[in-house]
């Protein structure tokens, strides 16, 4: 059932906090952030509680707080529901309300026909729910479900993380956001330079896209990158690649990151946190020196904040090659058999291949090993 209790051009405002809760924030450098929840309704300022949305088929659930749209809440929760422009123009985020009440909270130009309205269809980018609801919506489960996009983004930040590693923070237009799965990559174009880089951020924030750039690579594009400044345009072409979390399995996850392969692994881990996956997650980050563990403090804070996330930095051997055998032995001492795990490996090609072979030798099934072999 659909309701329309407010003016269609009115966006309900948030009045006063109903409750304050602490939750771990993967995107922050500190352990916890305290998030006030503000909820109200225009008519009589009637307060409404968060609604719980169940997505069919599949039965995944997420909460919708206050006047946030169904799409905003789904992305915040880490779900990859189908959408396009996210501002009410394209109609790709149409979903059918199977039970519960929905209310429009944002204007939209896409016309929902009378037939679709009678079927209970809504635009997830423009509607919220009042109380619990069940919807029928399409969700991306693999790389083939995400269309390739070209978006002209702007540089929001270019800062050094540590050593030769820099953070490139791009922001897309509000009306052209990047859909991607955690772990995927994108092609960047600027000043006659073209780079292929893994995305280091979570798809739960599809406007703010982060990359970790190693400045030890060829000088011709390094100079072009360093000449960029805040506000300059960078074209994003993507996503590309099939490195992403496996859907549906509840196996313990082991992440093996080698040097710059940490970027796509960070995206996977952050996404798993947003999805509130309950199985254990073990991250081992191999690097040649301490500067190469450029987000060591943040990883330790995540390990402190989440009971099911475990982090351990590791150094490469004297030959420069990472030795994963001690990692597998450590997991075995904790009662974790690789035969029951999913393994995610990212890093330079020669390291990734060795880690994959070691995982197979230790008993992990090939179908549960995902590898992102970087140049």
Q: What pLDDT is attached to residue 49?
A: 54
**Mean pLDDT within 323-347:** 93
Interval 222-248: pLDDT, tens: 788 888 899 999 999 999 999 999 876
The 10s digit of each residue's pLDDT in 46-79 is 445 578 999 998 888 999 988 899 999 998 888 8
d(CA 110, CA 291): 50
CB atoms within 10 A of CB 322: 26
Task: Dump strand ranges (E) for 182-308.
Answer: 185-190, 193-198, 208-214, 233-240, 253-258, 281-287
Give the CB-side neighbour count of residue 229, counting CA atoms within 13 A.
0
Confidence check: pLDDT of 45 > 70: no
Report the distance separating Cα 343 and Cα 355, nearest Å. 10
Which pLDDT tens digit goes with each residue over 251-261?
Answer: 999 999 998 89
Would you put residue 156 in left (φ > 0), alpha (ψ -120 to 50) or beta?
A: alpha
Residue 319 has a pLDDT of: 59
**Rounded (10°) CA dihedral 275, 269, 254, 295:** -160
* pLDDT interval class at 338 (50, 70, 90): very high
Q: Is the pLDDT of residue 19 over 70?
A: no
Contact (CB, 8 A) for 176 and 151: yes
Mean pLDDT across the stretch 22-39? 38
pLDDT tens column, 158-180: 999 988 899 999 999 988 899 99
pLDDT class for 140, splitting at 50, 70, 90? confident
Determine the pLDDT at residue 248.
Answer: 67
| Residue 218 pLDDT | 64
Per-residue pLDDT at 8: 34
Q: List C-alpha distances in Å: 209 to 8, 72, 143, 264, 276.
A: 32, 16, 18, 12, 21
pLDDT value at residue 30: 36
pLDDT of res. 320: 56
Rounded average pLDDT over 277-295: 89
Lowest mean pLDDT among 215-219, 277-281, 348-352: 215-219
**What is the C-alpha separation between 70 and 127, in angstroms, rounded?**
6
CA angle 235/241/245 to nearest 5° reads: 120
Q: Which of 328, 326, 321 is nearest to 362 (CA)?
A: 328
Q: Tell me the per-residue pLDDT of 111-139, one tens digit each, with 9 for 90 and over.
A: 999 999 999 999 999 999 988 999 999 88
Output the pTM of the full model.
0.79
pLDDT at 29 over 90: no
**pLDDT tier, 317 (very low <50, low <70, confident <90, very high otherwise):** low
DSSP state for residue 201 in the 8-state scheme: S
Write the DSSP string, 60-104: EEEEE-TT--HHHHHHHTT--B--SSSSSSS-TTEEEEEEEEEEE
The average pLDDT across 265-273 equals: 95
Please name each of the domains of the chain with its CATH number: 2-136 (3.10.20.30), 143-240 (2.40.30.10), 253-374 (3.40.50.80)
Average pLDDT estimate for 292-299: 93
> What per-residue confidence (pLDDT) applies to 143?
85
Say whether pLDDT at 28 is over 50.
no
Average pLDDT over residues 294-303: 95
- pLDDT confidence tier of residue 277, bands split at 50, 70 and 90: confident
Average pLDDT score over the chain: 83
Using only the alpha carbons of the chain, give its radius of gyration: 22
Write down the H helix ranges in the chain: 70-76, 114-118, 219-226, 262-274, 296-305, 325-333, 349-361
């Amino acid at each position: 059932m659909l309701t329309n209790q407010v003016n269609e051009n009115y966006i309900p405002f948030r009045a006063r906090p109903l409750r304050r809760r602490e939750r771990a924030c993967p995107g922050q450098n500190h352990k916890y952030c305290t998030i006030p929840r503000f909820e109200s309704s225009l008519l009589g300022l009637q307060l409404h509680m968060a609604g719980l949305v169940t997505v069919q088929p599949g039965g995944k659930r997420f909460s919708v707080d206050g006047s946030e749209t169904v799409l905003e809440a789904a992305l915040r929760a880490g779900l990859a529901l189908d959408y396009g422009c996210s501002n009410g123009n394209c109609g790709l985020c149409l979903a059918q309300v199977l039970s519960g009440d929905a209310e429009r909270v944002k204007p939209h130009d896409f016309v929902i026909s009378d037939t679709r309205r009678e079927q209970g269809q809504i635009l997830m980018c423009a509607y919220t729910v009042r109380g619990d609801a069940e919807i029928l919506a399409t969700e991306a489960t693999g790389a083939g479900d995400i269309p390739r996009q070209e978006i002209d983004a702007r540089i929001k930040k270019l800062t050094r993380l540590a050593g030769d590693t820099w953070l490139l923070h791009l922001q897309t237009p509000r009306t052209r956001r990047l859909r991607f799965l955690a772990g995927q990559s994108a092609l960047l174009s600027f000043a006659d330079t073209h780079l292929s880089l893994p995305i280091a951020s979570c798809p739960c924030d599809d406007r703010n896209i982060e990359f970790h750039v190693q400045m030890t690579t060829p000088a011709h594009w390094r100079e072009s990158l360093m000449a960029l400044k805040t506000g300059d345009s960078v074209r994003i072409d993507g996503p590309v690649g099939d490195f992403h979390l496996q859907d549906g399995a509840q196996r313990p996850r082991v992440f093996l990151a080698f040097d710059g392969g940490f970027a796509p692994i960070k995206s996977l881990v952050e996404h798993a946190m947003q999805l509130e996956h309950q199985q254990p997650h073990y991250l081992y980050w191999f690097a040649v020196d301490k500067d190469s563990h450029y987000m060591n403090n943040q990883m330790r804070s995540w390990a402190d904040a989440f009971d099911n996330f475990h982090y351990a930095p590791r150094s490469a051997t004297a030959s420069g090659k990472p030795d994963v055998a001690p990692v597998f032995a450590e997991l075995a001492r904790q009662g974790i058999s690789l035969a029951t795990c999913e393994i995610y490996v990212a890093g330079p090609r020669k390291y990734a291949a060795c880690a994959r072979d070691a995982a197979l030798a230790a008993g992990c099934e090939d179908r549960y090993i995902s590898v992102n072999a970087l140049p």
